[in-house]
Amino acid sequence: MLTCATSRLLLFWGSKGLVTGMTKRHTQNARTLRLVGSEPEANPAVAPGAPDHTPIVERPPGGNLPVQLTSFVGREREVSEVEGLLSDHRLVTLTGPGGSGKTRLALAVAFGVAASFEDGVWLIELAPLSDPDLVPQAVAQALGVREVPGQPLTEKLVAHLQGRKVLLVLDNCEHLVEACAMLSDRLLRSCLELRVLATSRETLSIAGEYTWLVPSLLLPDRERLAVEELGRFEAIRLFVERTRAVRPGFEITEQNARVIAQICQ
Ligand SMILES: Nc1ncnc2c1ncn2[C@@H]1O[C@H](COP(=O)(O)OP(=O)(O)O)[C@@H](O)[C@H]1O
Ligand SMILES: [Mg+2]
């Protein structure tokens, strides 16, 4: 049994890429499996019973959600609504035009529900991909599932995800809608504990999908508003926070309020 301190050290070494040459004995420990967050592949080259020195795939527990470097503004109601949707539906797609905050909202929801997914919340950023055939690879890479020549990767993903309580966040599916739809459909049908949160300008249009249109950040509907009222609006708060990052001490004044409200419209 690994001690807590050992587990933390493993995690630390793992994050530094220093966990190598560990024996299969270690991997049989369920706690270790959860720590590394990825089931080691059986190595066909190793005789049964002999020590397997296949390196463990290093993964932090709980997935790969990136730490956000900027604050998340408002959206309390939306976050809790989407969290609720995810408990009722196995595929939720956040839709809306580019820049409407789909990705940021999905990440906030993903962080919020992470504790309910004991096998992790995994973000797959699809924006940089242009080839639809690479969607399964992108998912496999995030999950630490290795491709084996001659074995369909989608089937490896199914085998990996079966019985695992995982949330996949498929971010920016719009240019790969068909590939994302096919993969999600296959995985959701075979892996009953799996849930998918997708962001996409276009819906995936598969059975069981719940589509949710991301509303704009709250905006003042009049250009002339009292300065103290403007701070209530999320779009204005976002503008002020980001401006303060480059101009510390920036404030809304009677003079700039109208222009700020117009910019945020
Ligand atoms: N609620 C929010 N709080 C802070 N920043 C936000 C919020 N919503 C959106 N943004 C920022 O606005 C920009 C566009 O949002 P993004 O989520 O990427 O939109 P989309 O995914 O719909 O194209 C990003 O820089 C993002 O960080
Ligand atoms: Mg996006």
Residue-wise pLDDT for 236-247, tens only, equals 888 888 888 888
Q: How far is CA 220 from the centre of its chain?
A: 31
Residue 43 clears pLDDT 80, i.e. is over it: no
Residue 1 clears pLDDT 80, i.e. is over it: no
Q: Where in the chain is the domain with CATH 3.40.50.300?
A: 76-213
pLDDT of the residue at 92:
98
Say if ligand 1 is within 6 A of residue 103 CB: yes
Say if ligand 1 is within 6 A of residue 73 CB: yes
pLDDT of the residue at 181:
98
Please give the mean pLDDT across all residues of the chain.
Answer: 78
Say if ligand 1 is within 6 A of residue 235 CB: no
Q: How far is CA 253 from CA 12, 105, 217, 250, 256, in A?
A: 48, 29, 21, 9, 5
Contacts by 44-48, CB closer than 8 A, 24 or more apart: none
Region 76-213: CATH code: 3.40.50.300
Q: pLDDT tens digit string along 202-214? A: 999 999 999 999 9
Mutating to test ligand 1, I would choose from 72, 95, 104 the residue with most ligand atoms within 8 A of its C-beta, which is 104
Q: pLDDT tens digit string along 25-36? A: 233 333 333 333
Short-list 63, 61, 67, 65, CA closest to 12:
61
**Of 15-24, 26-35, 167-176, 217-226, which has the strongest mean pLDDT?**
167-176
pLDDT of the residue at 222:
65
Residue 56 clears pLDDT 70, i.e. is over it: no
> Left if phi > 0, otherwise alpha if psi is -120 to 50, otherwise beta: which for 73?
beta
